[in-house]
Structure 1
Amino acid sequence: MLYWLLYQKLFPYFRLFRIFRYLTFRTVGASLTALLIGLLLGPFVIERLREFQIGQYIREEGPQSHQKKGGTPTMGGVLICISIIIPTLMWSDLSNPLVWIVMLSTLAFAAIGFADDYTKVLHKHNQGLTGKQKLVLQFSVSALVAVALLLLEQRGRYSTRLMVPFAKRFRPDLVWQWMGHIPHMHWLAFLPFVVFVMLVVTFSSNAVNLTDGLDGLAIGCTIIAAAALTMLTYVSGHVVFSDYLELQRMPMVSELTVFCGAMVGGSIGFLWYNAHPAEVFMGDVGSLALGGAIGTVAVVIKQELLLPFIGGVFILEAMSVILQVGSYKLRNGKRIFKMAPLHHHFELLGWSESKVIARFWILALVFALFALTTLKLR
């Protein structure tokens, strides 16, 4: 909005507005705007959640130390979404379709989380949407993202080729062109790409959701992952850096740097109120939205295979749940961890909540730095 008004419309008359053409300026502006919105709007949102008695229900099977958190306002993810979307609308070039794909994906995953949270609040002790219902909705949104990207690919504005870390030349195409020549079966050529996007985005969304179990844990790791994505998005769309790092040249993705910057600022603003002891929880409306945003951005900038490092803690948390459930079913009730997700395991080992959070943040930073170093290791 500001880019269109101040640069595209008023720049010819006011040369000062030339600064709005610079992506770095608009990214910083979006980040600071998101932070300011989060800090200023936080008390209002928390108070409204208290008024509507939207409090967190703590499961009895969870760690006993968490029972005292019962009743803490939840669904604070609404604040996160507002803090991300408004600055993106203000500071980005809204003629870029990739911006809309990422924003709409984020809002769609937020809507799924909102439905889940609201069901829990409306019916006390209700577990919300079932696992199958959430997966169907998440896969549906992810499939729509894939279809939108395929439409752009048909116009030469996106590439379905996969960038493989540590490999310069190996870039397999997820659209099987040879299948397009089979009569009445040409649609199968796009199936591998659609399935891949569905798995990446849905897994990312659920991984952040599983990590959201301690005060500030998920949002702190999100800040680190979003900061890494901001850098990756910027270099992917920059002609000099992308050529130097031998990345696939994608000029359109550079505008997503503004969205990623807003995600950093909005997450920091939310952390102010979510830090231990938390005044508000993000709920599924926040965790599913953030995970969906991270996964969608990774797909759009062709860094899907770096996602396990960009969000390394999220992956560890999700894998701990998968391994725990698999072990329980296949080994006659035997467990690998004292409790899953992984942060609960360390709590039961005697680590304080603050220590678990701080160490997981450090681990997330190490993963993110490794992800950035792989750019030159090709």
Structure 2
Amino acid sequence: MIVVAALVSWFLVGLFITLARRYGWGQPIRKEGPQTHLKKEGTPTAGGIGFVLALLLCWVGLLLTGHGGGPKATLLVLAAVGMGCIGLVDDVLKIRSRMVGGKKELLAREKFPLQFLVGLIFAVLAAPLAPHLWVHSWGHVGDIALYTLAMVGAVNAFNFADGLDSLLGGLSIIVLLPLLAVSPVSALLVGVLLGFLWFNAHPARVFMGDMGSHAIGGVAAGAYILHADVWLLPISAIIPVAAVLSVVLQVAYFRQTKGKRLFRMSPIQHHFEELGWPETHVTLRFWLVTALGTALVWSILRGLTPLVP
């Protein structure tokens, strides 16, 4: 299953790169970002289209063979598509602004309501299926609120953790490893990300864009909610959590001190780049930190609460 998903993704992402180069679907690079990233201007972006499409095709294949994974798998796929479509709008605006000008991206006040809507729909459907009832209240209201926040938080955290070649793809694979045996969609996502990483390895020939990061965040949050424990996700996904917190702290500190910065640059991965770490060193070390967090999650799941299929 994982091998087939990787091959399908490899083909579709490669095809997407060919089309992106032909039509000029390149990534705009912020001039205020790390100066080492300026040479990446024009690299094909929105490669998440390729691996999300591969995920859908492989899942349909599992459905046809009777191994689709039931309602939990269907819910995860819908979360990936719903959140991915929000990210796709952002990607299209970025590409279009670089080519012909105009609106550069979705504003936070436009993006968050859409994310909350998708997260809420997921939470309402997921609450009766989740193995843990955390907030005892009538009609799963408390759990629905918790799962909605977890979904929206994860999507934005994984999005902020993107920005370096192979960083998000690699750490997402690590985060999902404890769930491979119980979540077919998680296994498929690992497979399609392996196919994507073939092209995203440094120096990247394609970036996943917001569609990819949003879809990954949706699957990661949903899989931990439905198959494990929502409170374990921040441990395994420690780097995405650190990335989003670094942005929040940077903005708050900047406003409080009227212009001073807590980090040289946020999200946190760019702070280490500004300290002089090579991009590949940041990526590898963040993978290692993620592996430690995921190993802790694995030990908790094995020792305290068995995985729920």
TM-score above 0.5: yes
Contact 2:202 2:280 in 1 (8 A): yes
Q: Distance in 2 between matches of 1:159 and 1:365?
A: 25
Aligned match of 2:203: 277
| Equivalent in 145, 168, 187 of residue 261 of structure 1 | 187
AA matched with 1:198: T
Aligned match of 1:373: 299
AA matched with 1:55: G
AA matched with 2:133: R
Note the C-alpha offset of 1:159: 4.7
Contact 1:160 1:175 in 2 (8 A): no
Contact 2:119 2:151 in 1 (8 A): yes
Give the CA RMSD over aligned residues.
1.7
Describe the superposition over 1:196-250 as per-residue Cα deviations: whole angstroms up to 9, x where unpaired: 11110111111111111111111111111121332xxx3xxxxxxxxxxxxxxxx
AA matched with 1:220: G
Q: Distance in 2 between matches of 1:339 and 1:41?
A: 34
SS of equivalent to 1:147: helix
Aligned match of 1:122: 96
Q: Distance in 1 between matches of 2:283 and 2:126?
A: 36
TM-score with structure 1 setting the length: 0.75
Aligned match of 2:240: 314
Note the C-alpha offset of 1:62: 0.3
Contact 2:249 2:262 in 1 (8 A): yes
Q: Distance in 2 between matches of 1:94 and 1:277?
A: 36
| Equivalent in 176, 200, 207 of residue 226 of structure 1 | 176
Q: Distance in 1 between matches of 2:272 and 2:168?
A: 16
SS of equivalent to 2:301: coil
Note the C-alpha offset of 1:377: 4.9
Query: Which has the larger Rg?
Result: 1
Aligned match of 1:39: 10
Number of residue equivalences: 298
SS of equivalent to 1:123: helix
| Equivalent in 69, 75, 90 of residue 61 of structure 2 | 90
Q: Distance in 2 between matches of 1:95 and 1:297?
A: 12
Contact 1:160 1:193 in 2 (8 A): no
Note the C-alpha offset of 1:307: 0.4
| Equivalent in 260, 275, 278 of residue 352 of structure 1 | 278
Percent identity for Structure 1 against Structure 2 = 33
Aligned match of 1:161: 133
Aligned match of 2:83: 109
Q: Distance in 2 between matches of 1:41 and 1:159?
A: 35
Q: Distance in 1 between matches of 2:209 and 2:264?
A: 24
Q: Distance in 2 between matches of 1:277 and 1:289?
A: 23
Structure 1: runs of 5 or more not aligned: 1-29, 163-173, 178-188, 235-253
Contact 1:219 1:271 in 2 (8 A): yes
Q: Distance in 2 between matches of 1:91 and 1:369?
A: 29
SS of equivalent to 2:28: coil
